[in-house]
Amino acid sequence: MSELSQSRTAVAAPRRSSGLFGIDLASPKHANKLGYLLLAPAALLILAILVYPMLLAIDISFHDVKFATLSFGASEYTLANYQKLFSSPDFWNAIRVTGQLLLVVTTISMAVGMGTALLVNQQFRGRSFARMLIALPWAIPEVVAVVTWVWILDASFGVLNWILIKIGLVGGPVSWFSSPGTAFSAVTMVMVWKGYPFISIMILAGLQSIPEEYYQAAKVDGANVFQRFFWVTIPCIAPVLGVTLILTVLWVFRDFSIIYVLTGGGPVGATETLAIMTYEEAFNFFRMGYASSIGVVTLIICAVISAFLVKKTSHAIY
């Protein structure tokens, strides 16, 4: 070891570089400056492409503009858009449709997601392959999924009608997109199909994080399979369920592509959610101010719902 010390002068001390503007950002004194520097590009970008547009949208919603303007306060401030909105039957219809869809889609996809997660959480050969297959619809782009379902639901040659007739559930072919009830069912089907894989993946991750000892302890205490599910599984995955529920609700609330490509909101507004209505008002009728006011209301409802769910579910953990 003594020979180690002979060569110690051989390695030069690192350069005494002075970094940016003569400030050595490596010095402990300046560490936080580097933190700001690293955050700056993202902060500026977000300011430009998220904050500014958002404020603009809120501003537009208080103006009577037909086309999006870029200057704040271009014309007189007015509450006309909101007054019109709250007295419009279309708006209340959209609220009702969105609410119904939220309830139905969330409930069914949570059930399917939970069921599939429990299924592939079992131990069996080929489990990882099964897990991959079960959540595969996640990897199908929404537009692709919708187009595929339109073909499956086709009134004349759709395979679903053939199956339903074959097993005697319906007398003749169903024209899915021409009546409000069936159109709503079609939207529900596609949304559940696109929505359950996410829930399944999340719940499965939650299930896997439960220590096996909990189940062994419950067995020792004499709990049967249902008791173990309700007293071990559910409480353990409650936080995961909470997060999943919030994200699913937000998705259903704001999703555009599925409904727009599938039904366009029709027939007669049966599937027109707030998101569809916003888009239609903005880009079909070019009532940008009015559309923005719907967007603002959507944003507020989203915020309220998530705040409520966060409160509820974080409560459920304890």
- Which residues inside 71-110 make contact with other proteins, applying CB under 8 A? none
The tokens describing 3, both together, are 């020979």
111 contacts 244 by C-beta, under 8 angstroms: no
In the list 22, 122, 222, 225, the residue contacting other proteins (rule: CB under 8 A) is: 122
Does residue 155 bind other proteins (CB under 8 A)? no
Size of the site for other proteins (CB under 8 A): 115
In the list 186, 191, 201, 252, the residue contacting other proteins (rule: CB under 8 A) is: 201
In the list 108, 150, 164, 223, the residue contacting other proteins (rule: CB under 8 A) is: 150
73: left (phi over 0), alpha (psi -120 to 50) or beta: left
Closest distance to other proteins from the beta carbon of 85 (Å) = 13
Does residue 279 bind other proteins (CB under 8 A)? yes
Closest distance to other proteins from the beta carbon of 17 (Å) = 8
Does residue 275 bind other proteins (CB under 8 A)? yes
Long-range contacts of 287-290 (CB under 8 A, 24+ apart): 287/66, 288/60, 288/65, 288/66, 288/67, 288/68, 289/60, 289/61, 289/62, 289/63, 289/64, 289/65, 289/66, 289/81, 290/81, 290/84, 290/85
Among the residue ranges 5-13, 85-93, 177-185, 230-238, the one whose residues contact other proteins (CB under 8 A): 5-13
Closest distance to other proteins from the beta carbon of 293 (Å) = 10
117 contacts 207 by C-beta, under 8 angstroms: yes
In the list 19, 73, 211, 235, the residue contacting other proteins (rule: CB under 8 A) is: 19
Among the residue ranges 77-85, 86-94, 224-232, 294-302, the one whose residues contact other proteins (CB under 8 A): 294-302
By CB under 8 A, what part of segment 20-49 binds other proteins? 24-29, 31-32, 34-36, 38-39, 41-43, 45-46, 49
What is the Cα–Cα distance from 163 to 64, expressed in whole angstroms?
Answer: 51
Does residue 252 bind other proteins (CB under 8 A)? no
Closest distance to other proteins from the beta carbon of 247 (Å) = 6
Closest distance to other proteins from the beta carbon of 171 (Å) = 15
Q: Which is nearer to other proteins, 15 or 89 (CB)?
A: 15
The tokens describing 187, both together, are 């939207």
Closest distance to other proteins from the beta carbon of 270 (Å) = 19
Does residue 195 bind other proteins (CB under 8 A)? no
What DSSP string runs through 73-136?
T-S---SHHHHHHHT-HHHHHHHHHHHHHHHHHHHHHHHHHHHHHHHHTS--TTHHHHHHHHTG
Among the residue ranges 77-85, 96-104, 131-139, 211-219, the one whose residues contact other proteins (CB under 8 A): 131-139
What is the Cα–Cα distance from 274 to 298, expressed in whole angstroms?
Answer: 7
Bond prior to 267 in cis (omega within 30° of 0): yes
By CB under 8 A, what part of segment 222-241 binds other proteins? none
Does residue 57 bind other proteins (CB under 8 A)? yes
208 contacts 121 by C-beta, under 8 angstroms: yes
In the list 92, 230, 256, 308, the residue contacting other proteins (rule: CB under 8 A) is: 256
What DSSP string runs through 265-294?
T-STTTT--HHHHHHHHHHTS--HHHHHHH
